[in-house]
Chain A
Amino acid sequence: MSIDHLLKKLSVRSPWLFRINAGSCNGCDVELATTACIPRYDVERFGCRYCGSPRHADVVLITGPVTTKVRDRVLTVWNEIPEPKVTVAVGICPISGGVFRDSYSIDGPLDRLIPIDVNVPGCPPRPQAILEAVVLARSIWMKKLGLEG
C-alpha cells in the first residue's frame, strides 16, 4: 500500500464540516448545531469538526432554498472549498425548494446550480438523520478519492 493510498484512506476519518446558509429559516441550522453541541449526538466522534473557513472544509452542508439575494454568495463560497469536497443538502428546501418552491425570490433547487452528493430531507431532518448523511458523505468522499468503500 502506497503512502498516498494510506493518506487517502485515513483522510475520510476526518471530515471537517462547513455550513452554508442559503436563506434558510434556521431550523436546519439549529439541528446542525445540535449535532455538534448536544452530547447525545456528538458528531466529533467521527473526527468531524465544524470549521469556520471554507478553505478547511471537506463536507459542506447547505441549508435553505437559495434565495436570489444569496445565490451568488453561495456559489462564491462553494467554489472556495478545495477539492475533494462532498456537498450535502440539508432539509427539503435546498433539495426541492420545499415550502418556498415556485416563489419569485427563490433560485433553487440547489442541484440546478451546483452538484449535490447527498440529500437529507426533512423539515428539519432529525439530528440522527444528519449523522447518517455525514456517514453517507464519507463513503461518497471515498469514491471521489478513488477508493471503494
Chain B
Amino acid sequence: MTDTLLALLHMCLFPGGVFALAVGFFFKGLDRRVEARLQSRVGPPLVQPWIDIAKLLTKETLIPKTACRQAFLMAPVLGFTGMAVCAAFIPVPGVFNGLFNMGDLLVLFYLLPIPAMAIMVGGSASSSPFGAMGFSREMSLMLAYETPLLMILLTVAMLVGKGLTGGAWGAEFSLLKIVAYQQQTGSFGLNPVMIPALLAYLIFLPGTMGVAPFDIPEAETEIIEGPLLEYGGPLLALFQVTSALKTFVVLGLGVALFFPGTVSDLWLVNLGWFLLKTLALMLLSLTLVKSASGRMRIDQAFRFYVTVPCALALCSLLLVWFV
C-alpha cells in the first residue's frame, strides 16, 4: 500500500508530474530564448511556454465533424499519461533512484514512443488529409529513430551487465544499477568505448523531440502542423505539456545513461548538477542543431537515422561485445 502511494507521489510530484513539468517548461522557454539569441534576436520571455498554455486554456475547442470523436479527444490524454508515467522512471542521481530497480530501461523504451503514437492517433482521428500525411511521416520517423535508441540502450545494458558479472555475458536493464555502476567506475560519456553511442543518443534527441531538422511530421509550412492541425485550445495545450514532459524524460534518460555522476552528498547540489547536465545536453543537441539547420525531407531523415546513428551505436555495441 505504502509502495503504491509512494509510486503515485513520485509520479505526481518528483521527479514526475510537477517537477518534470516545471523543468520541461523552463527548458522549453530557455530553448526558445537561446535559439533567439543564436539568431541575433531577443526572443520571448522565459515564461512564454506557461503563457501559451494559459492562452490555449481560454480558447474554444473545435472538433471536426468528420473526426472520430473519442480517439480525437483521447489521443492527447494518452500521450500525456504515457509521459507522466515515464517521468517517474527517470533517476536523479544522488536525489532519487528511480521508481523500480528491475528492468525499467525496457519499460522506458516501450513508453517513450507513446507521445509519438498519440500524435499519430490524433492525426489519423482528425480526418484531415494533412493529419494522415503527418501520421505517415511520424510513423517512418519513429521507426527510424527507435532503432538506434534500442541499440544504445542495449549497449549500455551490456556494458553494465558485463561489469557486474565480471566479464561474463549479461545485460542489466535496471536504471538504478546502471547509475550505481557508473558512479563507481566512471561515467560512460567519458568512456571511449561509449562515445559513439553518446553521439548516437545526441542525434536521437532532435528526432524524438521533433525539432528541426527532424520536425518533419509537424512541418507547419508544408503540411500545416500535420497531425496537430485540427487540435486547438486545451487539447493542444495537453500536447504541449506532453512535449515538455518528454523533454525532461529524454534529457534525464541521457544523463542517467551517460553522465550520472554526483558532485557532493547534499541533495540540493546534486539536483542542481543534474539540471545543469540536462541543460547542457539540451543546448548541444536540440537548440544548437535547431537554430543551425533547416528541415530535412522524410526520406533523407529516414536514411540518415538508419545509417549514421545506427552505425555509431552498432560500433559501440560491437566494441562492448568484443573488448
Q: Do chains A and B touch in the complex (CB under 8 A)?
A: yes
- A44 located at the interface, meaning its Cβ lies under 8 Å from any Cβ of chain B in the complex: yes
Partner of B232, one of A7, A8, A44, A56: A56
A12 to B52, CA, bound (A): 9
A25: min CB distance to chain B, Å = 20
Top 6 A-B pairs, shortest CB-CB distance:
A52-B220, A55-B232, A11-B55, A52-B224, A10-B54, A42-B41
Question: How many Cβ-Cβ contacts under 8 Å join chain A to chain B?
Answer: 90
- B233 located at the interface, meaning its Cβ lies under 8 Å from any Cβ of chain A in the complex: yes
- B231 located at the interface, meaning its Cβ lies under 8 Å from any Cβ of chain A in the complex: yes
- A27 located at the interface, meaning its Cβ lies under 8 Å from any Cβ of chain B in the complex: no
Query: Is there contact, CB below 8 Å, between A82 and B59?
Result: yes
Query: Is there contact, CB below 8 Å, between B41 and A53?
Result: no
What residues of chain B have their CB less than 8 Å away from a CB belonging to chain A? Answer: 32, 36, 39-45, 48, 50-52, 54-55, 57-62, 219-221, 223-225, 228-233, 236
**Known contacts A44-B36, A44-B41; A14 and B230 CB within 8 A of each other:** no
- A13 located at the interface, meaning its Cβ lies under 8 Å from any Cβ of chain B in the complex: yes
B305: min CB distance to chain A, Å = 24
Partner of B54, one of A11, A42, A50, A52: A11
- A145 located at the interface, meaning its Cβ lies under 8 Å from any Cβ of chain B in the complex: yes
**Per-position contact with B for A1-40: 1 when CB-CB < 8 Å, else 0?**
0001011101111101000000000000000000000010
Query: Is there contact, CB below 8 Å, between B32 and A51?
Result: no
- A80 located at the interface, meaning its Cβ lies under 8 Å from any Cβ of chain B in the complex: yes
B35: min CB distance to chain A, Å = 9
Partner of B220, one of A42, A46, A53, A80: A53
- A107 located at the interface, meaning its Cβ lies under 8 Å from any Cβ of chain B in the complex: no
Partner of B224, one of A44, A53, A83: A53
Query: Is there contact, CB below 8 Å, between A55 and B231?
Result: yes
Query: Is there contact, CB below 8 Å, between B58 and A44?
Result: no
**In the complex, residue of chain A having the shortest beta-carbon distance to the beta carbon of B60:** A82
A39: min CB distance to chain B, Å = 4
